[in-house]
A = this chain, B = another copy of it.
């Protein structure tokens, strides 16, 4: 029974997991959907009430009946590396590949359906509320008056992107930015803005959940820095204890979201209280494992190695 990893060629985080799977003698196929149909073959047959499918890449063949699990890491767009790429070839190739994979009974980390919903930041905030996390008050709006009103109510707020930085080259960093009620909010009318009450933080918390196993890491914050993701705070990630209340909420959240893997970001305030900031269903874990020594890649490999649901 094979583990299928969908990711692009250069992915050191995937490499870490592949090493663990090799150590455990679990068969692995690593495949970038972008390489279909040039370097990778696909064939599925639906006949007589039954279904057979196979993928072939790098001299390996995997049948859908022999598929244990699928790890969606950082896959490229289907057929993006074709000789004559087109939107239509991508659509047809996506149909063939994911239509076949969805027909199998493999376990997913994470299923694209769950991933798509879990990416919606407003839905994350609502789900965090429902599962008992403390969430800083947030507004997502296209109305300048309501944005200003929110800033006046809370004094200091941060403005963030909901979908991440704008695409394109060179990559653009978009750090979370602190603003006050006297800012110019007129631009909000041109595109929705996400504003959140600023949480003065003592530390950043990254909590990685792998099929119910929790790994929390903590990094002291630089009090002068709003968004510690960009730049060196002079501190490193250290393993942290997970409070019982948080543990329960994490389990409820991943259950409700249907996620086998999730990376939660919290802000630890001056009182040691954890505030939910976001839950990234495909968040990186390599940097945490390297600094803390927590066996996250092993946990991922173990989850992927379990038998298919059959």
Interface residues of A (CB under 8 A from B): 36-37, 41-51, 79, 82-84, 86-89, 91-96, 98-100, 102-103, 112-113, 116-117, 119-126, 129, 135, 137-143, 146, 150, 161-164, 166-167, 189-192, 194
CB nearest neighbor in B for A142: B37
The CA of A207 and the CA of B42, in the complex, are separated in Å by 32
CB nearest neighbor in B for A174: B88
3 nearest A-B residue pairs (beta carbon)? A99-B122, A96-B192, A47-B137
CB nearest neighbor in B for A139: B45
Asked if B41 contacts A162 (CB within 8 A), the reply is: no
A129 touches which of B49, B100, B139, B141 (Cβ 8 Å):
B49
Residues of B near A140 (CB, < 8 A) are 42-44, 46, 95-96, 99-100
Residues of B near A42 (CB, < 8 A) are 140-143, 192
Please classify the interface of chain A as helix (H, G, I), strand (E, B), loop, or mixed, using the class held by over half of its residues: mixed
Known: A163-B92, A163-B95. A41 touches B126 (CB 8 A): no
Residues of B near A124 (CB, < 8 A) are 99
Asked if B141 contacts A43 (CB within 8 A), the reply is: yes
Task: State how many angstroms separate the Cβ of A139 from the closest Cβ of chain B.
Answer: 5
A43 touches which of B89, B100, B123, B146 (Cβ 8 Å):
B146
Task: State how many angstroms separate the Cβ of A60 from the closest Cβ of chain B.
Answer: 15
Residues of B near A96 (CB, < 8 A) are 122, 140-142, 162, 192, 194
Known: A86-B166, A121-B99, A123-B99. A141 touches B192 (CB 8 A): no
The CA of A99 and the CA of B119, in the complex, are separated in Å by 9
Residues of B near A162 (CB, < 8 A) are 92, 95-96, 99
CB nearest neighbor in B for A122: B99
Asked if A139 contacts B43 (CB within 8 A), the reply is: yes
A46 touches which of B41, B83, B99, B137 (Cβ 8 Å):
B137
Residues of B near A194 (CB, < 8 A) are 96
Asked if A37 contacts B79 (CB within 8 A), the reply is: no
Q: List 24 A-B contacts (CB under 8 A).
A: A37-B190, A37-B191, A42-B143, A43-B139, A43-B141, A44-B140, A45-B141, A46-B139, A47-B138, A51-B126, A84-B190, A87-B167, A88-B166, A91-B163, A92-B161, A92-B163, A95-B119, A96-B140, A96-B141, A96-B194, A98-B120, A99-B140, A99-B162, A102-B123
